[in-house]
A = this chain, B = another copy of it.
């Protein structure tokens, strides 16, 4: 089994983020893969689209993957450092590997996950950074709402 290229996995999450932007939503995307790179589920933040504050990108990808007996053979990929909510999901369900597009515009719990044994790869992808920088500049209120920070 060859380990998949993290950049190739990130491309799927980034496509989800771009789809979220097109829909007028928070442009964060994620995908859950098996360790050999098979896609299990993909999704993007749906706060605006579904009026649902629980649908962060990682949660949406996890939901799309459906019920599984365990996650020991999976990789979570997200365009942005996961917030505490999504970091908690990764820890609780024992997802052993995390690929992060960027952690410049927001730094959540990826270092905490690494401390707890998750193999974390931060790619510092310029396109992910540009996407979030533009979104935060254009929609600061929506961004703050999405991470629970009072305006």
Contact = CB atoms under 8 A, between A and B. Distances in A.
Interface of A: 47, 51-54, 59, 62-63, 65-72, 83-89, 91-94, 108-109, 141, 144-145, 147-151
B63 A54 contact: yes
Given A54-B59, A83-B92, 16 more contacts: A47-B67, A51-B66, A52-B67, A53-B62, A53-B66, A53-B67, A68-B145, A69-B144, A69-B145, A69-B151, A70-B148, A71-B148, A85-B85, A85-B89, A93-B148, A94-B148
Given A84-B92, A85-B85, A62 B54 contact: yes
5 contacts: A52-B63, A54-B59, A54-B62, A54-B63, A70-B148
Given A47-B67, A67-B47, A85-B85, A92 B147 contact: yes
A48 to B, nearest CB: 9
Nearest to A59: B54
How many copies the complex holds: the figure is: 2
A53 to B, nearest CB: 5
A92 to B, nearest CB: 4
A95 to B, nearest CB: 8
A51 B69 contact: no
A67 B88 CA distance: 21
Contacts of A109: 88
A89 B88 contact: yes
A91 B59 CA distance: 16
